[in-house]
Amino acid sequence: MIDRRNFSKTFMATLGSVAISNPLFSKELLYDFKKSNPKKLGIALVGLGNYSKNQLAPALEKTEFCELKGIVTGTPSKAKTWQAKYNLSEKNIYNYENFDSIASNPDIDIVYIVLPNSMHKEYTIRAAKAGKHVICEKPMAMNSIEAEEMISEVAKAGKKLFIGYRLHYEPHNIEAMRIGQNQVFGKVKILNCSFGFRIGDPTQWRLKYSLAGGGALMDVGIYAIQAARYSTGEMPFAITAQEYKTDKVKFSEVDETIFWQMEFPSGAVASCITTYASYIERLYLSSERGFVDLSPAYSYGSIGGQVRRKPLDFTQVNQQQLHMDGISYSLQTGTKAKNIYGDEGLKDMNIIDAIYKAVATGEKVII
């Protein structure tokens, strides 16, 4: 059964034993931390599209351990609007050409890459070479070869690379991790993880192979991969996959719908769907003696579901706020932020590569 005390313990551990603000926040801990670390870390957002504008920047108005200090944009009019709205200093506004001079700016500690997927590698490496820690959005790269290069270059620069996996800070998903990984209801046997939505504008970068590297799988299927992995605590060793396309014009360059299956060393099997054709959003984890069923499972509206037919009603949190605070706290204290580093992103890129290979060959791919 769900035990709130157990849940809180897991949640705290996930944050590196600190209580971050919001529902589970401990004023005493925050007070002690702030006394010894009075400065918030400065974050610069690179790319001021939908995710930066509607999620990350508003979340950075609530964070306790970091704040929005800079922006990198190719659009001068956006720079002006953001500068005024967030009271940013003129010297902290960059474009893509002068971005590397961020190296000499002590206001910026972390660079957050929120660009189309094809640009993640270049800007991650440039940011690390400029001496900054990096948060890179998912999918971390176009493929696993790029991901490996990013990890190696950031390590060479002596910096840390984090991936935008906000669900490691979301209570319902943390509960699924706890139940699955600790075998609370016995061994995990079956997983059903799916994420898809109906995509609009046919001219957007998400439908262009050169910018996105793939379609629904790269964009949202990656959440289903993550969910199956964090619900078992395992990496799959075998993949089979099938692709379906109903609109061959709109999806001429990238995948519309992919079904795939993953086999895990413990014997668990995952059946997954990703699509740009219609809405689907589910994490179903079935163990020997019970199940977890989250739907909606991955978006940043409300997340909900049930455990063994009993509703799961944890507090809804601001995932972006907790994620950036968790990273910043770990950087300031030298503690480990859980499961959100580059190596975690690379594992997902390995799986994505294997899924595309399984689609192309029709064969089972061993990872």
Residue 148 DSSP code: H
Active site residue 138: yes
| CA–CA distance, 54 with 187 (Å, rounded to integer) | 40
Mask: binding to ligand NAD, 106-145, rule CB under 6 A, as x and -? --------xxxx-------------------xx-------
290 is an interface residue for ligand NAD by CB under 6 A: no
Nearest residue to ligand NAD, using CB? 49
What is the distance of C-alpha 195 from the center of its chain?
Answer: 14
CB atoms closer than 10 angstroms to residue 283: 30
Q: How far is the CB of 335 from ligand NAD (least distance, A)?
A: 23
Q: How far is the CB of 175 from ligand NAD (least distance, A)?
A: 20
Among 24, 30, 211, 238, interactor with ligand NAD by CB under 6 A: 211
Q: How far is the CB of 218 from ligand NAD (least distance, A)?
A: 8
338 is an interface residue for ligand NAD by CB under 6 A: no
Q: Which of 50, 91, 54 is nearest to 69 (CA)?
A: 91
| CA–CA distance, 355 with 336 (Å, rounded to integer) | 30
Catalytic residue among 165, 169, 223, 298: 223
- Beta carbon nearer to ligand NAD, 268 or 323: 323
One-letter identity of residue 179: I
321 is an interface residue for ligand NAD by CB under 6 A: no
- Beta carbon nearer to ligand NAD, 211 or 280: 211
Q: Three-state SS for 224? A: helix
Q: Three-state SS for 28? A: helix
Mask: binding to ligand NAD, 213-232, rule CB under 6 A, as x and -? ------x-------------
- Give the range of 7-15, 42-50, 86-94, 179-187 binding ligand NAD by CB under 6 A: 42-50
| CA–CA distance, 138 with 206 (Å, rounded to integer) | 13
H helix runs in the chain, sequence order: 4-14, 27-36, 50-51, 57-59, 76-86, 120-129, 144-156, 171-181, 209-212, 216, 222-232, 319-333, 342-361
Q: How far is the CB of 137 from ligand NAD (least distance, A)?
A: 4
Catalytic positions: 138, 223
What does the binding site for ligand NAD look like in residue numbers (CB under 6 A)? 47-52, 74, 114-117, 137-138, 164, 166, 205, 211, 219
